[in-house]
Amino acid sequence: MATLISLPGISLGEARIVDGNITIPARSKQRSVLCPCCNNLSKRIHSSYVRVLRDLSISTSCVSIHLTVRKFFCRNPECEKKIFTEQPGNEVKAYSRMTNRTRETLQNILLEVSARKGSYIANLISLPISPSTALRMIDALPIPPAEKVTVLGIDDWAYRKGLTYGTLLVNMETGKVIDLLIGRDGVSLKEWLAKHPEIKIVTRDRASAFSCAVSSTLPKAIQVADRFHLLQNFSDCVYSVIRIEYRNLANSMNENSIQVELPNDIPQEGTGKEPQKAKGERNEYIKLRFVKVKQMLKDGAGLKTVAKSLQISRNAVRRYSKVDVLPIKSIYHKYDYNEYLDIIAMGFSEGISFVKIYARMKDAGFKGSKSAFYCQFKDHPMRTKPAEYNPINIKLRLISPRKISKYLAFDDLSKIKDETDREIMEKLLNKSNTLEKIRQQVLTFKELLLGNDVLLLNDWMERTINIGISQLKSFVTGVKGDLEAVKNAIDTDWSNGQVEGQVNRLKSIKRQMYGRAGFELLRKKVILSKVG
């Protein structure tokens, strides 16, 4: 037993088992000890007492070491301490109630889980602690000083989404988190960067606060914009263009083409009800507001003046200023009924119930719900006016702007799995030259970022501007404002992928503690955790 539980500088006695717990008496091997104040040796004992130390368990049995600790007189008359207590060995910390190896084992567990779960696991391995003690043990851990960094990755993270944010710093060469900073305005980042002049390369997203902080503190450092964020920003830009032009795209399709949406619900005759407002149709207040905005802008009023006068946002005024006709409200159907129209028409012609028609559709692979199917077709002319129904003239829905922007990034449209979506995209690209130009720019931008030819960037920006769409011009302006970082993203192999992964890891650690961790606790867990 003594060999199994050996502690340096401590002599262990004969172990005893009491109620399933192992108790081991122990004492120091030292005959004389140094005074912690004046470093004089002393052999004169004042008194002794017993400290109970918890050690690692043996076969699920708690192990307690009853250590007899002596107090000594200091024989130096000039010393401030007249009586002092010995500190036996290196395995026992002053005032501690457990051995160092026990504490380190618990701290390694607690770094990876929440306090409550850590307390539960500790009880399972016969090292019982409370959740409060678990938090105190993590709080006692020191954060090692930041190592020298040559390549730094920066990104923001949400402490409370929409309210409080922070900055995450990662050593891109080791892939480890260096530090967490409060705020994402660049103030705390400037202070941190000033202490690390050895940094040569900084990878970041396109936030202007980070760009300004690095430029002002480390002007010689090479800044690299993140390729993923560049593609994401351009994708969002293309989506905003399609959303605004959505109605024009729908109208560009001829009668024989697959078009905007299924026919609107038609109220039954003789019910006395007023016709319902068409789906996507704006109410009178919004129509009147649109007219007022256009009139005030025509009279020379600025965006801010119009927004303040009509009590609407400047973004709404800006949107209205870019269109001549008020766009209809987008209506998207969650389920695609195009493939099942023949089954539905046949069911109605046979006079069978919705339940049986729905069963046939399910057998054919339909994934929608019964209630959604009923709401969509209960007043459909296919059912209410079968004699007047002509399937050739039915205009099927146009796919959503989000899907269109997604499919524009496909270099080969045959990769689109949904056959209807693929057919719609082919027809849209044939009908709209502008959409085809945008698609070519999307594909070229992807190739540009994945390649290493910086010279092609200027040509790409010029062709994007020549399309003549304000949103695309705005994106190019943003790229020009961060041109060196964008060029470095094309030229170098560095990206912010590792930092994004660490942000996801941080979110996981936050969720472990149900979002209730304080900043310092979260900082220690993210920096010191090995696998969490």
Q: What is the pLDDT of residues 439-497, one digit of tens each?
A: 999 999 999 988 878 888 999 999 999 998 999 999 999 999 999 999 999 988 898 88
In the chain, where are the structural domains located?
Answer: 10-98, 103-139, 151-226+495-528, 228-252+401-491, 284-321
The pLDDT assigned to 90 comes to 80
The structure tokens listed for 444 are 């070229």
* Residue 256 confidence (pLDDT): 45
State how far the alpha carbon of 98 is from the alpha carbons of 5, 20, 48, 383, in Å.
14, 19, 19, 79
Three-class SS of 18-65: ECCEEEEEEEECCCCEECCCCCCEECCEEEEEEEEEEEEEECCEEEEE
Residue 354 has pLDDT above 50, yes or no: yes
- One-letter identity of residue 504: N
- Check residue 390 and give its pLDDT: 58
User: Does residue 140 carry a pLDDT above 60?
Assistant: yes
- Listed in sequence order, the residues at least 6 apart from 247 whose beta carbon sits closer than 8 Å to its beta carbon are 325, 327, 328
Longest Cα pair distance anywhere in the chain, in angstroms? 117
Higher local confidence (pLDDT), 260 or 110: 110
pLDDT above 60 for 261:
no
Question: What average pLDDT score do residues 34-61 get?
Answer: 90
Residue 38 in contact with residue 74, Cβ under 8 Å? yes
Tens-place pLDDT, residues 376-388: 888 877 777 776 6
Question: What pLDDT score was predicted for residue 189?
Answer: 94
Q: Percent of the chain beyond pLDDT 90?
A: 40
Chain segment 53-98, per-residue pLDDT in tens:
999 998 888 999 999 999 999 988 889 989 999 888 788 888 889 9
Does the pLDDT of residue 512 top 80, yes or no?
Answer: yes
Distance CA(43)–CA(367), nearest Å, equals 86
**Cα–Cα distance for residue pair 201/221, rounded to 1 Å:** 5
* pLDDT of amino acid 274: 43
Q: For residue 428, count CB atoms less than 10 angstroms from its CB and return exposed for 0-12, middle for 13-18, buried for 19 or more.
A: buried
Domain 151-226+495-528 has CATH 3.30.420.10: yes
Using 50, 70 and 90 to split pLDDT, how confident is the model at 215? very high
Q: How confident is the model at residue 9 (pLDDT cuts 50, 70, 90)?
A: confident
Check residues 132 and 370 and name the one with the higher pLDDT: 132
Rounded mean pLDDT of the chain? 85
Q: What are phi and psi of 375, to 5 degrees?
A: -60, -35
Q: State the Cα–Cα distance between residues 159 and 165, nearest whole angstrom.
A: 5
pLDDT band at 532 (very low <50, low <70, confident <90, very high): low
Average pLDDT over residues 502-512: 91
Portion of the chain with pLDDT greater than 70, in percent = 89
How far, in Å, are 65, 169, 264, 408 from residue 267 at the CA level?
85, 60, 10, 38
CA atoms of 293 and 473, how far apart (whole Å): 24
pLDDT for residue 137 is more than 90: yes
Q: DSSP string covering 352-392, please? A: --HHHHHHHHHHTT--S-HHHHHHHHTT-HHHH-TTT--GG
Give yes or no for residue 147 having a pLDDT over 90.
Answer: no
Q: What's the whole-model pTM score?
A: 0.69
pLDDT at residue 393 above 50?
Answer: no
Cβ neighbours for 232, distance < 8 A, ≥ 6 positions apart: none
Give the CA distances from residue 281 to residues 42, 57, 158, 263, 327, in Å, rounded to whole numbers and listed in that order: 94, 72, 38, 14, 9
| Bridge-based pairing state of the strands 164-171 and 151-160 | antiparallel
Q: Rounded to whole angstroms, how far apart are CA atoms 405 and 392? A: 28
> Does the pLDDT value for residue 500 go beyond 60?
yes
Q: Tokens 């969720």 map to which residue?
A: 511
Tell me the average pLDDT across 25-36. Answer: 89
Tell me the CA distances in angstroms from 116 to 25, 133, 510, 519, 522, one per residue in order: 32, 10, 14, 18, 15
Crossing angle between the packed helical segments 227-244 and 470-481, to the nearest 10 degrees: 160
Does residue 18 have a pLDDT over 90? no
Token pair, residue 122, equals: 């500790």
